[in-house]
Structure 1
Amino acid sequence: MPAPEESCDVNVVDNICRLSSDLLAEACQHILSYLQGQTSGVDSAEISDRFVRAGVRLGHDSLQDMVRFLLLTFRSAGKSNISADELVSKLEEGNPKWSKSSLQVLHKLWSEHGASVRAQQEARVMLSVGQLVDMQWKLGMAVSSDACRSLNSPYVTLLLKVAEPSGEIIQRSLELTIPQFQNLHKQFKEMAAVMETL
C-alpha cells in the first residue's frame, strides 16, 4: 500500500487527530459504508454538520481533504489486502504525528470492516463494464448460420473493441440479421437523442 500521506498535506493528519474518537469513528463509518456498497457516495455535508454540532470547525477544503485521505487510505488498504495492524503501521511510518486514539479507531474499524471492503472492491472489478473504443461492421451473405433460416440471407458482422476496466483491449464480434441490425441502429439513435438532452 502506498503511503497515503505522500498525496496528502500533513495538516490532514493534524485535523484527524483533533477529532474525538467517536467523531472520527462516525466520519469513517460514512466512508466505509460507501466502500462496502451500502451507500451511493460519501455525504461530506452530513459529516460537516456533525462536526459543527460537536464544536469542531473545519473549512470546506480541509474537510474535503480529510474525506479524500480516509477514502484513499481505506481503498488502498482494501486493494493491498492488508490487516489492521499493517494499516496502522503504514500510517505511523508515513507520519509520526498520529495520535494513539486516532490509530486505535482506524485499527478497530478496519478490523471490523476491512474484509467487507475488500469483497466489495473485488465484486466491483468483476462487475465493471468496459468502454467501447471502436466499432466496425461489414455486410455479408450467409452460407450457413444458426440465426438465419435460409441460406444466402444477408447479415451484418459487428467487430467491437472494448477497453476492459483492467486496461486490456479486447475484441468481440457478433453476427446480426438485417432486422436485428436495424433494431440496433434504432436503439443507438434513441440513446444518442437521450444523451443530447443531458
Structure 2
Amino acid sequence: MAAREMYELSGAVFEKSCDLMRSLPPDLFAELCQQSIEHLQCQDTGIDQTLLCQRFQAAGVDTNMNEVINVINDVNYLFSTAAKHKLSTETLLNTFASHYKLPKPTLQVIRHVWNEEGKNLSDVEGSRDLLPAARLLDFHWKVGMAVSSDGCKSLNHPYVTVELKVADHSGQVQNKVFEMTIPEFQNFSKQFKEMSAALENV
C-alpha cells in the first residue's frame, strides 16, 4: 500500500495527537506502543489510561485524560491499519515522517516496534479484524439489603450488586456496576451455567 493511501486513512485521526506524541519521552512512547501491540494481539488486560496519564504528567508532559485517550486510540489505529495492509516498516515510517513531522526518536520507536511485532500482528489480522471487542477482565458480586435502589422498589429486600471490569475495543479499562434483584441474579447465573455447558461441547 502506498504511503499516500496510508495518509488518507490516518490523516484525520492522527493530526490531533501528533503534538502529544512529539512531546513524549521515547521510553514512555515505547511503553504506549508496546501496550497497544499487546492489546491488539489480545495478550494484555487492557490499557490503563489513568496510569499512563499520571506517568506522562510525572515526566513533565503537559496533557490531560482526554488527550491521552485520543493518543491511545490513534496509536491503536496506526498499528491496526498498518497490519491490515501489511505495510513494510519503511512505508509506515515514510508516511509519518513526511506528513506528521514526528521527531527521530519517536520514529525510531515505531521502527523498532514494527520490526519486532509487525509480522505477528499482520498474521493475527489475517484471521480477524484488528479492533478487538470489549473483554471481561474481572467480575465481582455481593449481596446487600436495599435501603434505596432503582432496581429494588421495596425496601428491606435483598439485592445483588455486580461489578464488571472490562477493556473496551480500544483497550481502555472501565468498571461497570449495576444492581439486580435476587430473581434477576438467579436468572443471570442460570444463563452463565448454560453458556459454560455449551462451551464445553465446542
Identify the TM-score tier after normalising by the shorter chain.
0.5 to 0.7
Say which of 58, 64, 69 aligns to 1:64: 69
| Aligned counterparts of 2:40 and 2:17: Cα–Cα separation in 1 | 20
Match of 1:36 in 2: 41
Deviation at 1:119, TM superposition (A): 1.9
The answer for the alignment partner of 1:109 in structure 2 is 113
Counterpart secondary structure, 1:123: coil
Deviation at 1:51, TM superposition (A): 1.5
Q: Which runs of 4+ in 1 moved over 4 A?
A: none
Normalising by the residue count of structure 1, what TM-score does the alignment of the two structures yield? 0.58
The 5-angstrom pairing of residues 1-198 of structure 1 reads 2-3=6-7, 5-8=10-13, 10-95=15-100, 97-124=101-128, 194=191
Q: 1:32 to 1:5 in 2, by over 3 A?
A: same
Structure number with the bigger relative contact order (C-alpha 8 A, sep ≥ 6) is 2
Provide, for residues 167-193 of structure 1, a one-character-per-residue CA deviation record: whole Å limited to 9, x for no partner: xxxxxxxxxxxxxxxxxxxxxxx89x9
Alpha-carbon distance in 1 for matches of 2:54, 2:43: 21
Gaps of 5+ in 2: 133-186, 193-202
- Kept in 2, the 8 Å contact 1:35–1:121? The answer is no
**Aligned-residue CA RMSD (Å):** 2.5
Identity %: 25
CA distance in 1, matches of 2:23, 2:37: 20
Q: Secondary structure at the residue paired with 1:37?
A: coil
Amino acid in the other structure paired with 1:75: S
The 3-state SS of whatever aligns with 2:21 is helix
User: Which of the pair has more CA radius of gyration?
Assistant: 1
